[in-house]
Amino acid sequence: MAPNRIHRTVVAVLLTVLTASACVDAPPAPLAPAPSPTAIPPSPEAPPGSGPRYVAMGDSAAAAPLVPDQAEPVGCLKSTNDYPSVLARRIGAASFADVTCSGARTEDLVSRSQPTRSGPVPPQLDAVTDDTQLVTVTIGGNDVDLPKIAATCRRTSLDTPPCSSDLVADGVDQISESIAADADDWSDLVDEIRAKAPAARVILVGYGTYVRPEGCFPAEPINPVDAAYFQAKVDELDGRLREVAADRGVEFFDTRPLSVGHDICAAPQDRYIEGFAPVSPAAPLHPNGAGALAMGNALADYVAAGG
């Protein structure tokens, strides 16, 4: 298996999605200067070093690929302003290890050195120690191939059959089957974290509201039926992660309410998640800078409130 197989997630989104989106109409124009995001009230930061020892684990939904500025290792396409970094600054983390990496699957968090274009990175669990006090985890999207859904659900015409016809056969939904099959791995991941840091507060952070039920074709190349299907699969994934958290006695933070009205169909200045052809620095169908900031601030408020 090729060394960069796991990194295909971001490659698929950055290349496949953008290439196909050019077929909707004329080829896309060069990326325009980013619009000014809707103002987010400034949030006070705790004194540096006054907060918990914090480790952030996860995939590109946490890492915020292409959001300035990009951090080391460059192969992880990780931003210094992703939601974990915002959270760490807000809570004044005594120590902070952001080991999120675009393309990560659960096995890359637990046991495997993840291949990236700049070389392998250690299993993310290595950053967790017995004195870690806070762990956030965003995982599952690559396990169930959310990028595959995005690529499959992209349409150039409303006359094209819905994407569910490509993903459901004989009444069996491939994505639902994958979510059910992977749930045990997510439970095992939580167990591994708790074994290494028994006293840590562990928060599973869910995936957001990517698209409104009716979509916004042709502004975004996904028709209403497909928009509803795609978000339903995200909701199903979040629901299973919530169940895993409850079963394992940890917490789940739902980012969907936060991103309602800030999805890919929102006005550019209101978006937290970029569309198939981003207008702000971010990967397609990933949080932009405003989205990462909003998530980090919301999580900081949640952490400070004790859940």
Residue 306 — pLDDT band, cuts 50, 70, 90?
Answer: confident
Nearest to 255 by CA among 187, 185, 180, 204: 204
Provide mean pLDDT across the span 122-135. 98
pLDDT of residue 41: 52
Structure-derived torsion over alpha carbons of residues 190, 196, 199, 202, reported in degrees to the nearest 10 = -30
Residue 228 lies in a domain: yes
The pTM of this model reads 0.86
Per the CB < 8 A criterion, the answer to whether 262 and 271 are in contact is yes
Is residue 135 domain-resident? Answer: yes
Q: What per-residue confidence (pLDDT) applies to 71? A: 95
Task: Report yes or no on 38 lying in a domain.
Answer: no
Mean of per-residue pLDDT scores for the chain: 88
**Domain around 198:** 8-21+44-304
283 pLDDT above the threshold of 50: yes
Assigned domain for 33 exists: no
Q: Is residue 142 part of a domain?
A: yes
Is residue 31 a part of any domain in this protein? no
Tell me whether residue 76 is in a domain.
yes
Output the pLDDT for position 5.
Answer: 42
Positive/negative CA dihedral, 283, 262, 105, 172:
negative
Query: Residue range 225-241: average pLDDT?
Result: 96
Give the CATH number of the domain where residue 183 resides. Answer: 3.40.50.1110
> How many domains would you assign to the chain?
1
